[in-house]
Structure 1
Amino acid sequence: LQILLLDKAGNALSERLVFNRGEELATTDVQVRGSLKQRTKVTLAVTATDPDGGPAAGDFSIAVTDRAAVPAATSGSIYSTLLLTSELRGTIETPDWYFEGRDAARVAALDALLLTQGWRRYDVPELMKKEYVEPQYPLEVGQEITGRISKSGLWNRKKKLSRYEMRMIVPSLHYVTKCAVDDTGAFALNGFDFPDSTLFVLRPAAAKGLLPEATVKVARDSFPEVGTLPRVPETDAANPYLAQARHYIEQRGQTDMRNILIDTVVVTHRIRQEMKSPEQRLASNSWTAEQIKESGAGTILECLARMPGIKVSDYSISYRGTGALFVVDGQLEEPVDMQASASGFPLTGMVRSSRNVSRGAASGLGGIARPDGLGGFTQFTLAQQVMCLSYPLEMVSRIDLIDSHDSALYIPWAKGAVVSITLKKGKEWEDAVALMPSVDVVIASPLGYQTPAEFYAPAYATEKARRSMVPDYRTTLYWNPSVEFDETGRATVEFYTSDAPADYDITIEGITQTGKIVQRRQRLLPE
C-alpha cells in the first residue's frame, strides 16, 4: 500500500509504503499413486482449493525435481515476484525469506525493506495537478510492420501515394490483410501476432484502378533501451549443482550432457503414386507451376483470364455468366472488414474462413450455410477478391478451376464455379522466396513470440527400456508450465522416476481464476 499525505494544493507532505499481507494463497493437496522405485511410473493427483473452500480452477505450473541436486529457490517464487520484487527497485537479496513465516523479525525486516527500497511508480502530486507525461512507447497489442513506399521517377516519386494500399500475406498461416498508405507513403500493418521466424510477404498495389509499381522499404524493429542487469553472484564451489554435474559426468563418461542418445532407426517405405487432391480430380482446367512459368503470365488474374469460360472485364470476374468462389489451400476466402489500426490508418482486409472445404461432401459439409456477402454467386468485383488475386505467382503451386456442374461435389452449397489456389510449401516455398522479384515484393520476418517446446522426459513403459544401460540422473523429472485444473479444481500428472535415490520436491505455482495465488513445495519420499 502507498500511503500519501497531501495538502490542499496537492503537494506531498509525507508518504511511505506498507506491505498489506492478506489471504491471497489458495491451498493444494497432492496424492501420490505408484511406487518410487527406479524407472517406475508415478501419478500425482493434485487438488486446488480457494480460501473460501471452493474448487480453484486455472492453469498452474508443476515441477518435480531431485532434492539433492536442486536446492530450494530463495528468489524466484510466484508470491515474492508478484507482490514484492515487481513493486520495488533494485536487487532484493533472498526475497522469499520474508514470507517463510510471520514472526516479528520477518515483519520488521519487511517493513524496513519497504522504507529503504520504496519508490513512487506514479508521481501523485503531478497527477493531481493534471500534469501528465505521455509514454514514449505505445501499448503493444501484437506485432507491427511499418515502412514506406516510393515510386520510380524523379518528378512523380511522392505523388498519389495515398492511392496505394499495402497488402500482406502470411502463406504458412493462411492469413491475409491490408492497410492504407498515407500521402507520404507511410504504412502500418498491425493487429496480428505470429511465432518467431514467420515470413510475411508485402506488396503495394493500387486501391482502385491501375498504378505503376512502387518499391517498399520496411522499417527496422526498434526496442526500448535496457539498463544494466544486476550482477549474478559467483558460484560457490560447494554448490550442489556442480557436485551433481560431476557425478553425471563420471556416470556418463563424457562432458556434454545436452545430448540424448537414441537407438539407430532405419526407415523404409514403398514408393507409391502420388494421390491426387480433390481439387485435381474435380478440376475442368488446371495450371501447374511449370505451366504458369512457361505461360509468361505475371499475375494470378492473367492465368485465370486465359482459362476457358472465365471473363475478366470492368474489374469483375465471372464464369459463364455467374460468379466464382475462391479457395486457397482448402480454405474459403471471405471478405471481412477489420477495425481501424492503432496508427489511425483505416484497416480493412480479408481473412480466411475457418471452414475447411477441401474434402467436400465427404467431410459432412452439406450442413454449412452459405456465408453472407458472397453476392449470391453473382459477379465478384476485383476489390472483393483482390487479396487472393494479389499473391505473387512465385508462391503458387497450381490453380484449379472446378466447373459449376462439379462444384457441389467440392462445396455442397456451391452453385457456381470454384477457383482453387494451392500455394507452395517446404523447399518449394523457400526456393520461391529466393526467386521473388524485389521491385514491389518484400519478404519481412519481424521478431515474434517463441513457440513453447515440450519438456523432454524418458518413458520406461517397457521392460527393455527399464533395463537400458544408459544412466538416468535427471535433476528435473517433470516440468509443465501450464497444467489445466478442471472446474472441480483437480488435475492429474504422470512422470517416471530416475536412477537417483527417490527424494523429490514437488513445486506447484500459479494463479486461480479468482486471482488467488497458488504456491506449494512438498517433499516426496518413499514410504
Structure 2
Amino acid sequence: VLQILLLDKAGNALSERLVFNRGEELATTDMQVRGSLKQRTKVTLAVTATDPDGRPAAGDFSIAVTDRAAVPSATSGSIYSTLLLTSELRGTIETPDWYFEGQDAARVAALDALLLTQGWRRYDVPAAVRGEYATPAYPLEVGQEIAGRINKGGLWNRRKKLDRYEMRMIVPRWHYSLQAPIDKEGRFALNGFDFPDSTLYVLRPAAAKGLLPEATVKVARDSFPEVGTLPRVPETDAASPYLAQARHYIEQRGQTDMRNILIDTVYVTHHKRLESTRPEHRLAAHTWDMQQIKEMGAYSIMEFVQRMPGMNFIGGRLSYHGANVSFMIDGVLDNTTTPHSADADFQAGSTIGQLIVTGTKKKSMTEIALERGGLEPDKNLTMPICTTWPMEWISRIDLIAGGNMFLWGVFDGAIVSITTKTGDELDQALAVAPAIDVSIASPLGYQTPAEFYAPAYATEKARRSMAPDYRTTLYWNPTVKLDDTGQAIVEFYTSDAPADYDISIEGVTQTGKIVQRRQRLRPE
C-alpha cells in the first residue's frame, strides 16, 4: 500500500490517497506427494520453492495438512493479504483474499474503492514535515525487563549515595548473570534478556566493596496494554460438517477418541533409584548428595568447597593439592567470573561465605587464612559466579580429579561438578529468599514451544489399533526449513477419515518474497 501525498511549499497537504502497488511478491511453490492415501499410511510431501527470478527460496515456513470436510477454508485472510493489505488498513476487511484471486477489472476497481473508503494515515506526514511530532514515551523493547528500586535500612541516610551500588541478577536455571547501575533514587532496570515463562530471577544489590547491608529490593509489577477489539470471526454453522462428524464419533465410540484417552489403572509400589549415566557423575572421585550437603551445614558453594579434602584457600586463591580448581555446572564448565577479594565477598551480613566471630570483630575465612599464612590478597582474583550460590539450589556436588578430567580438557588440579535442582525443587528453593536484601522475580516470558502431536503407524500392530483416529489436523509445523536448494521433505500419517485433505504452506523467504500455496489431496 502506497501513500501518495501532494504538498505545497509551506508543507500543507493539498491531496492524498492510498494506492495498492502490485509487484512480484509471491514465490513459486511446488508440492509433490509420494505414498498412498489409504487409512493410517505414511505420506511423504516434497516441497520446492523458488523466487520470481528462479533462484531457490530458502527460509522457514509453516505447513498444515487438514481434513477438507471438517476444517473450512480460512476467511480472515491469508499471509499475502494480511501482510500487504489488512495490516495497512483500519477496520474489518470482508474476505480480503477475494481481491487477489484475479486481476480482472472488477477486482482492481473494488480494491481501489476499498483503499479510498478504508484508508487511514499511519503517520501524519504534513505534521512531520513541519517538525510537529511526539517523541515515543517508551524505549524500544529488545527483550524482557525487570525494574524496581532499593531502600537502605536503618533510621538515617536511607537514600544517600545509592548510585554507588549496582543491581546483580542471577538466573540459576540457565546459568545467566547480569548487572545494572542504580541511580541516586535507588531505581534500576535490568533488560536485554529473554527466557521462558515461569523462570525465576534472583536479584541482589552490591558494590565494589561488598554487598549492601540491610537493603530491601522492590520489583515493579509487569504492566500490559489493554486489549482492543478483536477481529470479527465468522459465525459457525450449527450444521457444519465438523460438528456433525463429532456427534457421529461420540455416538459410535463414546467419549474415547484421539483427543480423550482412558488409560488403565497404574499402581506404584516401589520407586527404584537409578544410577546416573552422566559422565561427571560416573567419573567422580568423591560425591556428596543432598542429605550429605545438608549435614555439612555450609551456606554457599565456596564455603562447601573449602571443606573438601585436599582443598586450600590461602592468599585469596583456591587450589587442590597446589593446582587450580575448575567449576562445572550441570556438565558444562563455568567460565562466568566475578571479582573476589578478602574485604569484599565475605563480609558481615553477607550470604556468601561463612563468618567467624573473633572478639567483637567479624572476620571472613579469607581474612583469617591471610593472617595465618602471612600472605597478601590478590585484588584481581576472579572466581566463577556459581561459588556464591546458596546450597539450597544444589542437589549434588562431585569432585573429579586425575585422568578423568581429560574428558573436559582439564589436565591438572580438580573439577568441582555442581548439579543444580530442577523443576519444582528448584522453584521451591528459590521461593525462599535467603536474606532481606534478596528479591525473587518471575516476569512473564515466552511460551516454551511444544511439538505438535501426531500418531505414527510404523508397525502393523499400530495400524490395527482399535483407538479411533479422526484428526481434523493431520500435520502442522510452523518452522519447516527449506534448504539452500529450496527443498524440504515432510512426512505424516493419514487418519481413519476418508482421504480428502488440504495442504497449505505459508511463509516469507530470506529475500522478502511471500510463499503461499494451497493444494487439495485426494485419491486418484
Equivalents in 2 of 1:206, 1:380: separation in Å? 18
Deviations 1:403-430 (A, max 9, x none): 6x66854643444443333322345424
Distance change (3 Å), C-alpha of 1:270 and 1:138: closer
Deviates more, 1:145-154 or 1:83-92: 145-154
C-alpha change, 1:254 and 1:335, in structure 2 (3 Å) is: closer
Q: Paired residue for 2:452?
A: 455
Choose the corresponding residue for 1:507, options 481, 504, 509: 504
Is 2:158 the partner of 1:154? no
RMSD of the TM alignment (CA)? 3.2
Check 1:301–1:466 CA distance in 2 against 1; reply closer, same or farther (3 A cut). closer
Write the letter of the residue equivalent to 2:228: G
Distance 1:183 1:95 in 2: 54
Structure 2 unaligned regions, length at least 5 = 339-376
Q: Which moved more, 1:11-20 or 1:66-75?
A: 66-75
Question: Is the contact made by 2:322 and 2:413 (CA closer than 8 Å) also made in structure 1?
Answer: no
Which letter maps to 1:186? R
Matched, 1:425 2:415: no
1:290-305 equivalence runs, <5 A = 290-305=291-306
Residue matched to 1:483: 480
Structure 1 runs not aligned, ≥5 long: 338-378
Q: Deviations over 1:90-143 (max 9, x none)?
A: 111111111111111111111111111111111111221223312233221111
After superposition, the Cα gap between the structure-2 partners of 1:250 and 1:228, relative to the gap in structure 1 and judged at 3 Å, is same
Per-residue deviation, residues 437-458 of structure 1 (Å, max 9, x unmatched)? 3523322211111122211122
- Match of residue 67 from structure 2: 66
Q: Secondary structure at the match of 2:382?
A: helix
CA contact (8 A) 2:276 2:282 kept: no
* 1:156-305 equivalences in 2 (<5 Å): 156-209=157-210, 211-254=212-255, 258-261=259-262, 271=272, 274-275=275-276, 288-305=289-306
- Tell me how far 1:328 sits from its aligned partner: 2.2
- Once the two structures are TM-superposed, the CA of residue 311 in structure 1 deviates from its matched residue by 5.0
Structure 1 residues 383 and 83, CA, compared in 2 at 3 Å: closer, same or farther? farther
Deviation digits for residues 300-328 of structure 1, max 9, x if unmatched? 33334444555556765455665433322
**Cα offset for 1:144?**
1.1
Partner of 1:394: 392
**In 2, distance between residues paired with 1:256 and 1:37?**
20
CA–CA distance in structure 2, aligned partners of residues 491 and 210 of structure 1: 55
Note the C-alpha offset of 1:22. 0.8
For residue 264 of structure 1, report the CA deviation from its aligned partner: 7.5
Deviation at 1:184, TM superposition (A): 2.2
TM-score, scaled to structure 2: 0.83
Query: For residue 385 of structure 1, what is the aligned residue in structure 2?
Result: 383
- Residue matched to 2:3: 2
Contact 1:328–1:423 (CA<8 Å) still a contact in 2? yes
Letter in 1 for 2:498: P
Partner of 1:49: 50
Greater Cα shift, 392-401 or 216-225: 392-401
Contact 1:394 1:436 in 2 (8 A): no
Partner amino acid, structure 1, of 2:189: A
SS in 1 for 2:156: coil
Secondary structure of 1:109's aligned partner: helix
Residue 347 of structure 1 corresponds to none
Q: Which amino acid aligns with 1:240?
A: P
Letter in 2 for 1:182: D
Q: Secondary structure at the match of 1:236?
A: coil
**In 1, Cα distance between the equivalents of 2:235 and 2:277?**
63
Letter in 2 for 1:516: K
DSSP-derived class of the 1:25 partner: coil
Contact map agreement 2:403 2:411 (CA 8 A) in 1? no
Q: Percent same amino acid among aligned pairs? A: 75
Q: Assess if the C-alpha contact under 8 Å between 1:58 and 1:484 holds in 2.
A: yes
The answer as to whether partners of 2:39 and 2:496 remain within 8 angstroms in 1 is yes
The 3 A distance-change label for structure 1 pair 518 and 294 is same
The count of residues paired between Structure 1 and Structure 2 equals 486
- Relative distance call for 1:420 and 1:455 in structure 2 (3 A) is closer
SS of the equivalent of 1:385 reads strand
Distance 2:287 2:45 in 1: 57
Distance 1:76 1:240, change over 3 A: farther
Question: What is the deviation of 1:436?
Answer: 4.0
Distance 1:308 1:24, change over 3 A: same
2:4/2:18 contact within 8 Å kept: yes
Kindly indicate whether the alpha-carbon contact (under 8 Å) linking 1:36 and 1:42 is maintained by their aligned counterparts in 2: yes
| Secondary structure of 1:229's aligned partner | coil
Q: TM-score, normalised by structure 1?
A: 0.83
Shift of 1:174: 2.3
Equivalence for 1:412: 409
Say if 1:282 and 1:406, in contact at 8 Å, map to a contact too: no
Structure 1 position 467, deviation (Å):
2.3
Q: Does 1:495 align with 2:492?
A: yes
